[in-house]
Structure 1
Amino acid sequence: MTEEENVRRAGPLTYRGRAIPDTTTDQRLLDRRGPADWVHTDPWRVLRIQSEFVEGFGLLSELPSAVSVFGSARIRPGSEFYELGVQVGARLAEAGYATITGGGPGMMEAANKGAQQAGGLSVGLGIELPFEQSLNSYIDMGMTFRYFFVRKTMFVKYSQAFVVLPGGFGTLDELFEAITLVQTKKITRFPVVLIGTEFWGGLRTWVEDSLLKHGLVADHDMELLYVTDDPEEAVRIVQQAHLHLENRFERDEAGPAS
């Protein structure tokens, strides 16, 4: 076992060797317990959840305009997808955006690397997992969360857009949650950009041929998904949406014309 595999970080806590718990904090929260056990554990756990929100808000409250970048942890450095992630992080930095990722390896590391090397702010929001993933080495600001739902709140609250690179189940989870929040107007409408037409094209086709065809989404919902191969185009989409949003806020603050 390597040194990294022998360490688990749970929020601000660090466990090593025999002290590593058999389950994660999320598992202990969601597992069914005995009829009275919750009285002694779950109410106090609320304070831990609260503290994680406070710590996350405190870390990110003065973050400049930022974009959350999602993608697989399994992509290896030097691969075509990895280099695409580096380009995305760099283009975002050059446009003045901080890059927020899940803080792990693969596409997350690539985007953080590109952002940092281009002089931008690189942020990593990690998560406690049974198979430990420490924050990658290209992060300027970072935090490891215990709870997925707290971490997801940070991604949404402090981003002007989501850029989605090739990824697996976790990436799909983040993608569809983001689209749902925008579709239902739980968050201010902002772009969700998928980079990689060959990778994502089949998903968009399925949404159109299955969901749209059967009336499970509306025609205008298809506008929530942008698909491109060009990192620069992705940044332009983000900038245009951001500018439109800022102009709308200015009009709202100015009030009705006299």
Structure 2
Amino acid sequence: MNIDVVESELNNAQATLAQFSNNITVFGSARTSQDDPLAKIAYQLGKALSDKGFNVLTGAGPGIMQAVNHGAFDGQSKSIGLNIKLPKEQAPNSYLDECLFFEHFFTRKVMLIKFADACIFFPGGFGTADELMEILTLVQTRKGKQIKIFLFGEVFWTPLLTWFDDLKKNRYIDKADLETFTIVNSVEQILTILEAK
């Protein structure tokens, strides 16, 4: 790891993203087909958020990221991607008003979280789980902003909620830690909560 590259990534991203406010970061699987019902919902979410004046940030990849960026791109606000450079190159999707490039997952994750006024998690794999645990820890320990966290799709997240409940029973987490996020099943639920802040 080159510390100079890390510093440059953080400084460049900070300078660019500081220009934008009212940002919602959306996380989710890169493997979701654009024909999948979840991708269609992600598109609707991106469009609705953008039309309501929220800029939409993602990891700039395919799948859920592409769908939500596409919706935001078709809306009234900015569609922003933070792309990771991989050995098998992940090209950014085509629906971005602004795209930043990162060598490191952790610098990209810092920026996706730091500039978010809320985070929405669609179903995903290890990367999505890593991003969720990071932000839950930051909110729990008050090392990050106390922002709204949404988990989209109750059926998908139920096994995780069961595990969280076991953690609470064993006193590894507190009841209050389970109140840091909201399970949602529709775009309308998200918009209602965001607009009530």
Q: Per the shorter chain, which TM-score range?
A: over 0.9
State how many pairs are aligned: 197
Q: What are structure 2's unaligned runs of at least 5 residues?
A: none
Give the Cα–Cα distance (whole angstroms) in 2 for the partners of residues 46 and 212 of structure 1.
38
Structure 1 residue runs of 4 or more that deviate by more than 4 Å after TM superposition: none
* 1:49 CA displacement: 1.6
Q: Say which of 60, 80, 91 aligns to 1:134.
A: 91
TM-score (norm 1): 0.74
Q: What are structure 1's unaligned runs of at least 5 residues?
A: 1-28, 30-44, 244-258
> Which residue in 1 is equivalent to 2:101?
144
1:47 aligns with 2:4: yes
Question: 2:59·2:82 contact (CA, 8 Å) conserved in 1?
Answer: yes
> What per-residue deviation string (whole Å, max 9, x for no partner) do you get for residues 57-104 of structure 1?
121111121010000000011111111111111121122110000000
* 1:120 CA displacement: 2.2
Give the Cα–Cα distance (whole angstroms) in 2 for the partners of residues 101 and 67 of structure 1.
9
Q: Say which of 183, 189, 193 aligns to 1:233.
A: 189
Q: Say which of 151, 157, 169 aligns to 1:213.
A: 169
1:80 aligns with 2:48: no
Q: Spell out the pairing of 1:20-31 with structure 2 (5 A cutoff).
A: 29=1
> Which residue in 2 is equivalent to 1:61?
18
Q: CA RMSD in A?
A: 1.2
* 1:187 CA displacement: 1.1
Give the Cα–Cα distance (whole angstroms) in 2 for the partners of residues 85 and 150 of structure 1.
25
The alignment partner of 1:233 has SS state of: helix
* 1:205 CA displacement: 2.1
Give the Cα–Cα distance (whole angstroms) in 1 for the partners of residues 62 and 54 of structure 2.
21
1:98 aligns with 2:65: no
Question: 1:201·1:227 contact (CA, 8 Å) conserved in 2?
Answer: no
Quick one: which amino acid aligns to residue 221 of structure 1?
D
Quick one: which amino acid aligns to residue 128 of structure 1?
K
Q: Which has the larger radius of gyration?
A: 1
Q: Percent identity?
A: 37
Question: 1:122·1:141 contact (CA, 8 Å) conserved in 2?
Answer: yes
> What per-residue deviation string (whole Å, max 9, x for no partner) do you get for residues 170-206 of structure 1?
0000011010000000012111101111111221122
> Which residue in 2 is equivalent to 1:156?
113
Quick one: which amino acid aligns to residue 89 of structure 2?
E
1:196 aligns with 2:167: no
Quick one: which amino acid aligns to residue 80 of structure 2?
V
Give the Cα–Cα distance (whole angstroms) in 1 for the partners of residues 188 and 49 of structure 2.
8
Q: Spell out the pairing of 1:155-194 with structure 2 (5 A cutoff).
A: 155-194=112-151
The alignment partner of 1:56 has SS state of: helix
* 1:119 CA displacement: 2.2
Question: 1:103·1:124 contact (CA, 8 Å) conserved in 2?
Answer: yes
Question: 2:53·2:76 contact (CA, 8 Å) conserved in 1?
Answer: no
Quick one: which amino acid aligns to residue 72 of structure 1?
S
